Amino acid sequence: LIFPPELLLRKSYSLNLSGSGGIKWFRPLRLQHLLELKSKYPDAKLLVGNTEVGIEMRLKRMQYRVLISVTHVPELNVLHLKDEGIEIGAAVRLSDLMKVLRKVVTERDARETSSCKAFIEQLKWFAGTQIKNVASIGGNICTASPISDLNPLWIAAGAKFRVIDCKGNIRTTAAEKFFQGYREVDLASDEILQSVFLPWTRPFEFVKEFKQAHRREDDIAIVNAGMRVYIENKGENWVVSDASIVYGGVAPVSLSAQATKEYLTGKRWSQELL
């Protein structure tokens, strides 16, 4: 079986649909059009797979008058390999990210891809295939669920989030500063998440994922974590130069174990330390 060629060749059009009760649905094809819509409708909900907003509207009876599908905005679908890491558009599907990360792991120096391997392993147990085929990176981030399997990893891996406002102004914020509270993120009403930058790991820098759930496949976590350690050779000892330990499922937001990081930093890397 193959995907119908007629659909592959089908030209995409911007959409502007109206429904009962004053509901509006837009599908822009350009970033500028998206920003104009966000300026006009600051409370609009942005959608890709509709796996979160759809549940809220259907099961929680939440009302969103303006919905904007960003699936066809090129700038939100980029997957660029750069000298310092990977740029990932906010609308990139989870399954597409997995494919690229697997390719990266086979082609690049293993010392650079420790975080990539951690994301591959975490995504393996993230929801089902159908969900991963439509759900997006940005949607999972901006939902800011305290049990997100990916957000602790973004923070631990030192990811940077690129945010753009309706006037085209761009700012970059660290993942650890993006999550403000329970399902609250550092986005103003005139801003959207444009992309995520995942840096390559350095030699002797290691990133690891963890997840504990009732079952292995297609289940939400009881608790999850992302951990990173960077060790350097100083004299006869390997010493922890930097570390990050972030847990999900234990607080309203992904929680960094700051005291543990401070304790580890500067210590000799050993079994006793662990």
Q: pLDDT, tens digit, for every residue of 82-115?
A: 999 999 999 999 999 999 999 999 999 999 999 9
The pLDDT score that the predictor gives to residue 72 is 96
The CATH classification of domain 74-199, taken from the options 1.10.10.10, 3.30.360.10, 3.40.50.2300, 3.30.465.10: 3.30.465.10
Architecture of domain 205-264 in CATH?
2-Layer Sandwich (3.30)
Instruction: Give the CA-trace dihedral at 11, 132, 128, 199, to 10 degrees.
Output: 160
The pLDDT score that the predictor gives to residue 58 is 80
What rounded mean pLDDT belongs to the chain? 94
Each residue's pLDDT tens digit, 166-216? 999 999 999 999 999 999 999 999 999 999 999 999 999 999 999 998 887
Q: Where are the domains of the chain?
A: 5-69, 74-199, 205-264
- The string of DSSP codes covering 160-228 is EEEEEETT--EEEEEHHHHEEETTEES--TTEEEEEEEEEPPPTTEEEEEEEEESSSSS--EEEEEEEE
The model's pTM is 0.93
Give 259-267's long-range contacts (Cβ < 8 A, gap of 24+): 264/229, 264/240, 265/240, 265/241, 266/239, 266/240, 267/239, 267/240
5, two tokens: 């060629």
Task: Tally Cβ neighbours within 10 Å of residue 184.
Answer: 12
Each residue's pLDDT tens digit, 204-238? 999 999 999 888 777 788 999 999 999 999 988 99
CATH code of the domain made up of 5-69: 3.30.43.10
Identical topology for domains 74-199 and 205-264 = no
- The string of DSSP codes covering 105-152 is HHHS-GGG-HHHHHHHHHHHTSS-HHHHHH-BHHHHHHHT-TT-SSHH
Q: Which amino acid makes up residue 160?
A: K
Question: Where are the alpha helices (H) located in 41-92, listed in sequence order?
Answer: 53-59
Percentage of the chain lying above the pLDDT 70 cut = 100
Mean pLDDT on 237-247: 97
246, two tokens: 């972030």
Contact between 208 and 274 (Cβ < 8 Å): no
**Distances 105 to 45, 116, 163, 221 between C-alpha atoms, Å:** 35, 7, 27, 26
Each residue's pLDDT tens digit, 35-55? 999 999 999 999 999 888 888
Lowest mean pLDDT among 22-31, 124-133, 155-164: 124-133
